[in-house]
Structure 1
Amino acid sequence: MAIATQDFDAVVIGAGFSGLHMLKSLRDKLGLKVRVYEAGETVGGTWYWNRYPGARCDSDAYIYCFTWDKQLLQEWEWSERYPEQPEILRYLEHVAKRHDLKRDIQFNTSMTGAEFDERTNLWTVHTHKGEDVTARYLIAAVGTLSTTNMPQLKGLENFRGKWYHTSRFPHTGVDFTNKRVGVVGTGATAVQAIPEIAQQAKQLVVFQRTANYCVPARNGKVDPEIVKARKADYDGVAKRIRESFFGQEHYFIPKSALEVTREERDREFDRMWDAGGFAFWLANYQDMFFSKEANDVCADYIKRKIRKTVKDPVIAEKLIPKGYAYGTKRQPLDTNYYETFNKDNVLLVDAKTDGAIEEITEKGIRAGGKEYPLDIIVFATGFDAMTGPLKALNLKGRNGRTLDREWSDGPHTYLGVSVAGFPNLFTITGPQSPSVLSNMPVSIEQHVEWITDCIENMRKAGKTTIEATPAAQDQWVAHVNEIVSATLMPSANSWYMSANIAGKPRAFLPYLGPEGVGGYRKKCDEVAAKGYEGFELA
């Protein structure tokens, strides 16, 4: 029988931030033969697919970019603090062109599955076009929020209007002028989309299941002097965000929220509120995520803000979150979100007080026994986060094991970058790494650098396979769960806890380490320095 020839050194799945950097690193630093498969028609990943109204990043642009191209850091000019989707896509297109990355990317191609061959120690990758290729390394750069969560709602097929999911919006856009629009969901995406749609629609009905704590984005042009200072100090910026807790220049106030006077607390709160962005979430008092009492005083401040902004006290009460601690769900940044509910053409239908969605009818949505006639429905219902995109790859490791089976009770990884029984598979910002609890490009760069160094070290040492040991994996899973159980995070039904998908086993998906992103980086570097402790190399 003929021995299969090896087509590539590495196959990378996805051409967003992760895939582009991984390709650049393996090809240009290590000289490997690499193929990237991308389902979209160009690069961009999440910034290719998500084109809903108001889609923009919510990390400051000066850190939401690659730090490895130092010249580009100086040349590129962002138009505002939080650029919109088309601008981020333009940036990624520019990076791809500048480094000639597209020649190794096959677009409009979905991967349908891959299995590891224990005789050849190669992965065979299958695409929807019927191609089969082999590679030594398989790298999942599929993103953490890319598998759409479309709720199973009765009667959707009967709806006579048009409907869209925010993550699969038509590239030509949607005209909401003079239309009756329903938005289902009030998470971070909906908070960006709702104010934009409300400006166009004749009527907007927002269907809310769980109210969210929103803090202001304060988007706008950045002072040219600040831009200049950041560019002059990019080495310092890069070092600080790499060593920080969340991959951002945010640091907790090193005291308890309860040990200061209300006046001092409110001064600090006002300062963070006025600064906008993630400061209120990620640079608050150090015990906010640990102490219910400390958390309550932070939450109360936001509740006061909501009551002050929303004119109708009945609507304000519906928009005030209940039953979970502040900061335990993904923090939405808002621009006129609460103000939007003061408009005459906007109606809030709250599942708890007005009744939940019962079904989609020919004419609209029925909730709480009442029908709301609609021309367009927008589902802002999020994603099967973190594990969903990896399970969708249909990977088979040793002895035909699948992630579905291995992860039947939640994810099991080592460092969020490797899975026992799946040799030479690397997951960039996978479950149980800081990932979505950080400014993504920082965590992506760290994983890409670590994977690149690992492959380089293997090649120098003449090693063919690397995989996590089951013992190291078990210890890591226990560590991830132990750390988070000391916080308020598990008390919320969030997508961090897998609670947004019916039947998904409840488990905390990212990693909230003792020192966050910086501490996790140190841990990964230590593992490598100890000859890849917890891994088996053969």
Structure 2
Amino acid sequence: MRHDVIVIGAGFAGLYAMHRAVTAGLTVLGIDAAAGVGGTWYWNRYPGARCDVESVDYSYSFDDDLQREWTWTERFAAQPEILAYLEHVADRFDLRRHYAFGTSVTSAAFDADSGTWEVHTSTGMRHRADFLLCATGCLSAVNRPALPGIEEFAGEVYYTAAWPDEAPDFTGKHVGLVGTGSSGIQVAPLLADSAASLTVFQRSPNYSVPMPNRPWTDDEIRRLKAGYAERRRRSAYAPAGTPHTSQTKPAAEVDPHERAEALRQRWSQGGVLFSKTFPDQLTDLAANDVAREFAEARIRELVVDPVVAEDLIPVDHPIGTKRICTDTGYYQTFNRDHVSLVNLRREPIIGVTADSVRTTIAEYPCDALVFATGFDAMTGALTRIDPVGPDGDRLSHLWADGPVTFLGLMIPHLPNLFSLSGPGSPSVLANMVLHAEIQVDWVFALIAAARAEGATQVEARPDAADAWTRHVAEVAEHTLFVRADSSWYLGANIDGKKRVFMPYVGGFGTYRTHCDDVAENDYAGLVFTSR
């Protein structure tokens, strides 16, 4: 069957794209490998999984009734509540019936003769559509490191990014945790609660700010709902898509006492906002050092053993240039007698046996291994599908030297294909829900404009995409982000991946203005053609 639109993915971006397609009266098919909706919040159900953006902001803004009827219970929602919210949205707008769940897209190719994308799936089905919307997620392609001997391990193996439906029981077991990014930092305290021992294998430590989570009070919820319109207005073109702002003065211009108080307030607020205490914190190393030294002092206060504390302090990047993590008792976990930290920079892993992990120095017995090793971020989910354009151009070849996009949405030589929340857009550096809404709205406005002109194909010009990609790189070069050599923003966690800084760091509001300008200038940079 031929459709107007195929949507790959049923997370925040995919569900909204489906809603927009249905509302526009288009024929649409959704495809998702999961058994239900949720996207990353379907798969990442490990203990402690929680969003670091306040729940009232990390939610759809397109429907006032939805905002009024849904009540968030916590300031920072946990995975079960976020998944329940997405399930509620899917049911409220009757979106599930348009999806083929439990189905993976194995390939996609644009057929020049018919002017459609032909999509092949794991069920053996072939589907055609005029437009292909890839809401495949920037954090969805699981990174499974090939440790020597891992196939010989006789114990249990889990990945935080693909956690089983039935929660594992670690009671009385010797658990090895590999990875200390966001998921590793969130899961570690809960693993320690039940395990007989927990050994954390850390290659690159990350900064983490304690999350002062709590339930919303009834009064707070009433005020938040009454003020939603103003909150959304302030978020619409804000740097991160939330109503929060930084100090107005650069760090050097603030009195030292006032500066310390500002850092204390942001630390107590918790979350990624700490990296935005001062406006120059991610562009000026001296300003960054002020925040970094404050955070490191807090880590030394929280961790009893000074050697362990030093091992937990990053030495390879300015604070905030790798995404600041948020935690509930992570640093204090290492004060427990049955928890140990292995610094893989001192003693790299050389292999796995049937019942242990071996480093160059020691052997650590393990009954279970938990890999919190993250994702082939930003590009992996789409390059694994490897779409092919009408002239035989494969995405894997087009992006061999790093992703090239127009506005992070379109890729030259791949007409009628849209990449949502991918490289070249703010994506993980912004509120992902509002980010999804503005991108999806832009895409459907473009589809309507193309059809109004009688165009059957729309494609980004190579020179326009090259210019946007250069702009993304130039903006990043004026920040400290590029100094984080081990960051997954650069693809550094994936062996053989070209190191290119992928997100747009110019800010959510600035990005949105660029998108607005392109649309208002008759989609300059795009080519419309008719068959």
Do both proteins adopt the same fold according to a TM-score greater than 0.5, normalized to the shorter chain? Answer: yes
Q: What are the within-5 Å matches in structure 2 for residues 209-224 of structure 1?
A: 209-224=203-218
Structure 1 residue 287 displacement after superposition: 1.1
- Tell me, in whole angstroms, the C-alpha distance in 1 between the residues paired with 2:233 and 2:445: 19
Question: What's the TM-score, normalizing by structure 2?
Answer: 0.98
Among 510, 517, 527, the alignment partner of 2:518 is 527
- Tell me, in whole angstroms, the C-alpha distance in 2 between the residues paired with 1:247 and 1:303: 28
Equivalent position of 2:377 in the other structure: 385
Task: Report which stretch shifted further, 270-279 or 154-163.
Answer: 270-279
Question: Partner letter of residue 524 of structure 2?
Answer: E
Among 491, 497, 501, the alignment partner of 1:504 is 497
Among 358, 371, 376, the alignment partner of 2:368 is 376
Equivalent position of 1:365 in the other structure: 357
Among 260, 285, 306, the alignment partner of 1:313 is 306
Q: SS of 1:258's equivalent?
A: helix
Task: Report which stretch shifted further, 248-257 or 16-25.
Answer: 248-257
Q: SS of 2:259's equivalent?
A: helix
Task: Tell me the matched-pair count.
Answer: 528
Structure 1: stretches of 5+ with no match in the other structure: 1-5
1:327 aligns with 2:320: yes
Question: Partner letter of residue 335 of structure 2?
Answer: N
For the 8 Å contact 2:141–2:380, the answer to whether it is kept is: yes
1:13 aligns with 2:5: no
1:173 aligns with 2:164: no
Equivalent position of 2:527 in the other structure: 536
Structure 1 residue 368 displacement after superposition: 2.8
Structure 1 residue 250 displacement after superposition: 2.0
Among 407, 413, 420, the alignment partner of 2:412 is 420
- Tell me, in whole angstroms, the C-alpha distance in 2 between the residues paired with 1:223 and 1:267: 27
Structure 1 residue 277 displacement after superposition: 2.3
Q: Could you give the per-residue CA deviations for residues 267-315 of structure 1, whole angstroms, max 9, x where no partner exists?
A: 1111111122222123x11111111111111100001001111111111
Structure 1 residue 19 displacement after superposition: 1.0
- Tell me, in whole angstroms, the C-alpha distance in 2 between the residues paired with 1:333 and 1:421: 40
- Tell me, in whole angstroms, the C-alpha distance in 1 between the residues paired with 2:224 and 2:71: 12
Equivalent position of 2:332 in the other structure: 339
Question: Partner letter of residue 336 of structure 1?
Answer: G
- Tell me, in whole angstroms, the C-alpha distance in 2 between the residues paired with 1:169 and 1:413: 32
Q: Could you give the per-residue CA deviations for residues 486-506 of structure 1, whole angstroms, max 9, x where no partner exists?
A: 111111120001111111001
1:286 aligns with 2:297: no
Structure 1 residue 434 displacement after superposition: 0.6
- Tell me, in whole angstroms, the C-alpha distance in 2 between the residues paired with 1:380 and 1:32: 40
Among 145, 148, 158, the alignment partner of 2:142 is 148
Equivalent position of 2:295 in the other structure: 302
1:93 aligns with 2:93: no
Equivalent position of 2:220 in the other structure: 226
- Tell me, in whole angstroms, the C-alpha distance in 2 between the residues paired with 1:388 and 1:201: 33
Structure 1 residue 459 displacement after superposition: 1.6
Question: Partner letter of residue 341 of structure 1?
Answer: F
Structure 1 residue 111 displacement after superposition: 0.7
- Tell me, in whole angstroms, the C-alpha distance in 2 between the residues paired with 1:33 and 1:531: 26
- Tell me, in whole angstroms, the C-alpha distance in 2 between the residues paired with 1:31 and 1:191: 44
Question: Partner letter of residue 464 of structure 1?
Answer: T
Structure 1 residue 394 displacement after superposition: 2.3
Q: SS of 1:396's equivalent?
A: coil
Structure 1 residue 183 displacement after superposition: 0.3
- Tell me, in whole angstroms, the C-alpha distance in 2 between the residues paired with 1:495 and 1:249: 27
Structure 1 residue 70 displacement after superposition: 1.1
Among 229, 232, 237, the alignment partner of 1:235 is 229
Structure 1 residue 220 displacement after superposition: 1.0
1:430 aligns with 2:422: yes
Q: What are the within-5 Å matches in structure 2 for residues 475-514 of structure 1?
A: 475-492=467-484, 493-513=486-506
Among 65, 68, 91, the alignment partner of 1:74 is 68
- Tell me, in whole angstroms, the C-alpha distance in 1 between the residues paired with 2:359 and 2:125: 47
Structure 1 residue 482 displacement after superposition: 0.4
Structure 1 residue 35 displacement after superposition: 0.2
Q: Could you give the per-residue CA deviations for residues 157-184 of structure 1, whole angstroms, max 9, x where no partner exists?
A: 1111111111111100110100100000
Question: Partner letter of residue 49 of structure 1?
Answer: W
Q: SS of 2:56's equivalent?
A: helix
- Tell me, in whole angstroms, the C-alpha distance in 1 between the residues paired with 2:127 and 2:354: 46
1:36 aligns with 2:30: yes
Structure 2: stretches of 5+ with no match in the other structure: none
Question: Partner letter of residue 18 of structure 1?
Answer: A
1:461 aligns with 2:456: no
Structure 1 residue 37 displacement after superposition: 0.5
Q: SS of 1:392's equivalent?
A: helix
Question: Partner letter of residue 241 of structure 2?
Answer: G
Question: Partner letter of residue 515 of structure 2?
Answer: C
Question: Partner letter of residue 413 of structure 2?
Answer: G
Equivalent position of 2:189 in the other structure: 195
Task: Report which stretch shifted further, 304-313 or 216-225.
Answer: 216-225
Structure 1 residue 260 displacement after superposition: 2.3
Q: SS of 1:400's equivalent?
A: coil
- Tell me, in whole angstroms, the C-alpha distance in 2 between the residues paired with 1:260 and 1:520: 29
Q: Could you give the per-residue CA deviations for residues 102-152 of structure 1, whole angstroms, max 9, x where no partner exists?
A: 111111111111111112211111111111111100000111000011112
1:128 aligns with 2:113: no
Question: Partner letter of residue 156 of structure 1?
Answer: I
For the 8 Å contact 2:34–2:102, the answer to whether it is kept is: yes
Structure 1 residue 507 displacement after superposition: 0.3
Structure 1 residue 439 displacement after superposition: 1.2
- Tell me, in whole angstroms, the C-alpha distance in 1 between the residues paired with 2:146 and 2:300: 34
Question: Partner letter of residue 267 of structure 2?
Answer: W
Equivalent position of 1:27 in the other structure: 22
Q: SS of 2:120's equivalent?
A: strand
Among 447, 450, 453, the alignment partner of 2:439 is 447
Q: SS of 1:348's equivalent?
A: strand
C-alpha RMSD of the superposition: 1.0
Task: Report which stretch shifted further, 465-474 or 316-325.
Answer: 316-325
- Tell me, in whole angstroms, the C-alpha distance in 1 between the residues paired with 2:174 and 2:244: 41
Structure 1 residue 213 displacement after superposition: 0.9
Question: Partner letter of residue 464 of structure 2?
Answer: A
For the 8 Å contact 2:40–2:139, the answer to whether it is kept is: yes
1:185 aligns with 2:179: yes
For the 8 Å contact 2:211–2:326, the answer to whether it is kept is: yes
Equivalent position of 1:395 in the other structure: 387
For the 8 Å contact 2:232–2:243, the answer to whether it is kept is: no
For the 8 Å contact 2:271–2:324, the answer to whether it is kept is: no
The percentage of aligned residue pairs carrying the same residue is 45
Structure 1 residue 212 displacement after superposition: 1.1
- Tell me, in whole angstroms, the C-alpha distance in 1 between the residues paired with 2:103 and 2:494: 27
Among 95, 101, 113, the alignment partner of 1:107 is 101
